[in-house]
Structure 1
Amino acid sequence: MSTNLQLAEAIERYVNGEMTGDELARFEQYRKDNAEVDLKITEHKYFAGLLKQYRERVALEAKLNAIHDEIDVHALVEEMTVHPSGIVRMWRNHHSKISVAASIAMFVVVGAMFFTGYFTNKNQPHYQELRGEIGKLRTEVRDQKRGQNALAVEIRKRPKMTTPSNYKGSGLALSTNGYIVTNAHVVGGRFDSLYVQDASGSSYKAKLVYSEPLYDIAILKIIDKSFSELPALPYNFKRNKSEVGEEVYAIGYSEGDSPVFDKGYVSSINGYLSDSSEYRVSIPLNPGNSGGPLVNAKGSIIGIVSGKQTQVVGASYAKKSGYLYKALRNVPADSLSGKLTLNNKNTLAKLDPVKQYKKLQNYVFMVKVY
């Protein structure tokens, strides 16, 4: 039996509570010492949750079908047409069933209207945060259970079956020892665990150090024992404002496991609805870009990507890096492992964008929220 299959079976027994006392203690210690195993367990629980949702939906549909089968619709129509007073008798005989059926139908209709954006004013531009839902379960369990994963893919395609607490975004290293900045909305709300993944595909467990919703900025810290300090940061964070027309580019995990490079320019010094804390940039960004860096031609970080306008092609927004300095001043000192000071040296200034990206990609992370 392969090692991957043995691990998959052990994880399944662990999640199902089938391990003995000693075995459980050993496995929990193994999980604590191995971030990859911890991630596999988290994803296994997520997958199990999808299957549970699917079973509940099947049961709900079966209940609705049973109610429908018990009601003779054609007979009721004929009775009400010929004898209007039959409506009263019909209600007396079937009111409980009709109430359940109507409630379920109303829930389905309202849910569909909500997920399709019916309640949003379609004539007004809408601000969309660029965090993305995690769309894959990358575990060896998937290779052993392809049939189940095909079902999970089908479930994820249905809006009502998605799990809103599982998201991905991007993040940028603030220091060599594992501090990372992302958007507050990427990690907003309740979550079980945080991971960051670098360009090489290595994942590390992280924790939320500080969140500043006012500036939409969050600070994370890698706490994984397998993480090694990064080389000296090659970029700095610009304090003063950039100019309209200045060429910029964004790097983020909007697709797959590699950071994506998107180029454009600053189109306004104010953001959505004249928000002075943001830049409006003409760059076609996508879900997953939230939290990634906005970089100028000299390799300085001028902002943190945060969102886009849904009805204007290429209208995206980024929080100005000056507000990162403000957020850092509000971080409680006792929540940091030593002093966190932003780098003020820039070794990218004389490099072209291709060479800048090659260096920067090692400091841009995918942020995964479970």
Structure 2
Amino acid sequence: MTNNQLTEAIERYLSGQMDKEELARFDELRREDADIDMKIAEHQQFLGILKQYRERVELVDRLNAIHAEIDVHELVEEMTSHPSWVVRMWRQHHSKISVAASIAIFAMLATMFFTGYFGGQPKYRELREEIGRVKQSTAQLNLKTNALQRQINGSPKKHMLPGNYKGSGFALSSDGYIVTNYHVIGSRYDSVYVQTASGDSYRVKVVYTEPQYDVAILKIDDSSFKGLPALPYSFKKSKSDLGERVYTIGYSEGDSPVVDQGYLSSANGYQGDSAAYRVSIPVNPGNSGGPLVNSKGSIIGIVSGKQTQTEGASYAVKTGYLYKALQNVPQDSLSDKVTMSNKNTLSNLNRVQQIKKLQNYVFMVRVY
């Protein structure tokens, strides 16, 4: 099926123009092919945007029509020269004036609502952690002093300065490719480092960023890095089920990995974003870029943010969009092809055993 044929089929599917037999075949195709399912979700979201735009244009046309019917200057003159006509004018035009006033009030309230004027409006918060300047300066001085002491003692152990921002990331392959959120890295940085659970740190280069999906691909670029053992987890490309138990590992507190658990609460993310899941799980600044893992040890998403005023309402980019980002990476940007693991040795282990293995593949990401 060509792209044009697929687009036409999706439009007929969403508009309800398929007969029962064709609809059943297309539903089965959607369940079996995650790419087609994503294209349907994206097309549905696109149609929603078009509908909102059409409604906005209709509202503007309606306001213009009402404004054209009301001669403001004539009304002012009538009200000034003939006060007794005010009642007559109201009786003749009250419906139009009421509609215009109602729409104006609604537009004003909507603007105040969406700009966060009312404190109760939940907002999306990215979970990149900004390091305090005073704390950073003090820590830098302490680390420099400790580094000098280690040089005197001949210790080879590497340690990192605090950095400007902190997040999490996890391995895509055993040869040093790592994924995190784009917003953790941002567009302005001097250097980026990752740190393991054991405290070793490595310089990385930013290979590719995909702001649309909030994905960044990193590669450890450090001669002291000797590679990782084979990844024990796989990446789930198909959709996950509501209510599925999940957990995440990230660097939301100090230099040690923190585990949080919960369940998948919605197939869509913030404001209906089809590229993300909503999960009922407590996450904090520093969790951005960490893996969202199901009970079988498969990674189903990348933790990215949360609602500010809804307890436990967090979000994660679906791994299907990680695959899309990898497909968009220019081949000349990769020293080796990124081969994502499809073998899962965590599936038969309990949660504690899974975490013992998984934490060795999750990194703290520091941005300078």
TM-score using structure 2 length: 0.61
Structure 1 141/234 Cα, relative in aligned 2: closer, same or farther at 3 Å? same
Give, as a single letter, the amino acid of the residue that structure 2 aligns with 1:306.
Answer: S
In 1, Cα distance between equivalents of 2:119 and 2:243: 30
Structure 1: tracts of 5 or more residues without a match: 1-117, 147-164
In structure 2, the residue matched to 1:321 is 319
Q: Residue 128 of structure 1 aligns with which residue? A: 125
Measured after TM superposition, the shift of residue 120 of structure 1 is: 5.4
Partner Cα distance (2:339, 2:207) in 1: 15
* Mapping 1:1-370, distance limit 5 Å: 121-135=118-132, 136-137=135-136, 141-142=141-142, 166-370=164-368
Letter of the 1:123 partner, please give it: G
1:72 — aligned with what?
none
Give 1:208's aligned amino acid.
V
2: distance between equivalents of 1:273 and 1:364? Answer: 29
Q: Secondary structure at the match of 1:210?
A: strand
Deviation at 1:341, TM superposition (A): 1.4
Deviations 1:229-264 (CA, angstroms, capped at 9, x unpaired): 000000000010001000000110000111100010
State the SS of the aligned residue for 1:358. Answer: helix
- For structure 2, which runs of at least 5 residues remain unmatched after alignment? 1-114, 147-162
Supply the distance in 2 between the matched residues of 1:346 and 1:299 (Cα, whole angstroms). 7
Structure 1's 123 and 131: CA in aligned 2 closer, same or farther, altered over 3 A? Answer: same
Give, in angstroms, the shift of residue 142 of structure 1. Answer: 1.7
Letter in 2 for 1:128: R
- What one-letter code is carried by the residue in structure 2 that aligns with 1:183? N
Secondary structure of the equivalent of 2:264? Answer: strand
Q: 1:144 to 1:367 in 2, by over 3 A?
A: closer
Classify the secondary structure of the residue corresponding to 2:343.
coil
Q: Distance in 1 between matches of 2:302 and 2:273?
A: 14
Deviations 1:120-155 (A, max 9, x none): 542211000001013554867327889xxxxxxxxx
How far the C-alpha of 1:218 sits from its partner, in A, is 0.3
Q: Which amino acid aligns with 2:127?
A: L
**Which is higher, the Rg of structure 1 or of structure 2?**
2
Over 6 Å off, 4+ runs: 143-146
TM-score by length of 1: 0.61
RMSD: 1.9
Cα 1:177–1:119, aligned 2, differ >3 Å: closer, same or farther?
A: same
Amino acid paired to 2:142: R
Which SS does the other structure have where 1:328 is aligned?
A: helix
Counterpart code for 2:141: V
Q: Distance in 2 between matches of 1:172 and 1:305?
A: 11
**Structure 2 contact 120–309 (Cα < 8 Å) conserved:** no
**Letter matched to residue 120 of structure 2:** N
Cα drift, residue 286 of structure 1: 0.1
Q: Residues 139 and 312 from structure 1, CA distance in 2 versus in 1: closer, same or farther, beyond 3 angstroms?
A: closer
Paired residue type of 1:332: P
In structure 1, what is the Cα distance between the partners aligned to 2:262 and 2:349? 18
Identity of aligned residues (%): 69
Residue type at the aligned position of 1:257: D
Q: Secondary structure of 1:186's partner?
A: helix
1:105 aligned residue:
none
How far 1:323 sits from its partner (Å)? 0.5
